Amino acid sequence: MTIITYSDRKAETHPYIPLSDEAKTGIAHDVNEIGRFLYK
């Protein structure tokens, strides 16, 4: 199977693509940013 995307992070949570350390770091950053926004 080949997954074709436009941006680097577009398919990082796709179920057929292993989650890289870089993707985990990026997702954690996004969750933290949303948390800071919602829980000021």
Give the pLDDT score at 25: 95
Give the pLDDT score at 13: 87
Per residue in 2-40, pLDDT tens? 888 898 888 888 999 899 999 999 999 999 999 999 997
Report how far residue 40's alpha carbon sits from residue 36's, in angstroms, rounded to the nearest whole number. 6
The pTM of the whole model exceeds 0.85: no
Two tokens, residue 18: 């292993």
Give the pLDDT score at 8: 80
Domain spans of the chain, in order of start: 1-40
Two tokens, residue 39: 């829980």
Give the pLDDT score at 12: 86
Report how far residue 4's alpha carbon sits from residue 13's, in angstroms, rounded to the nearest whole number. 13
Give the pLDDT score at 32: 97
Two tokens, residue 30: 């996004």
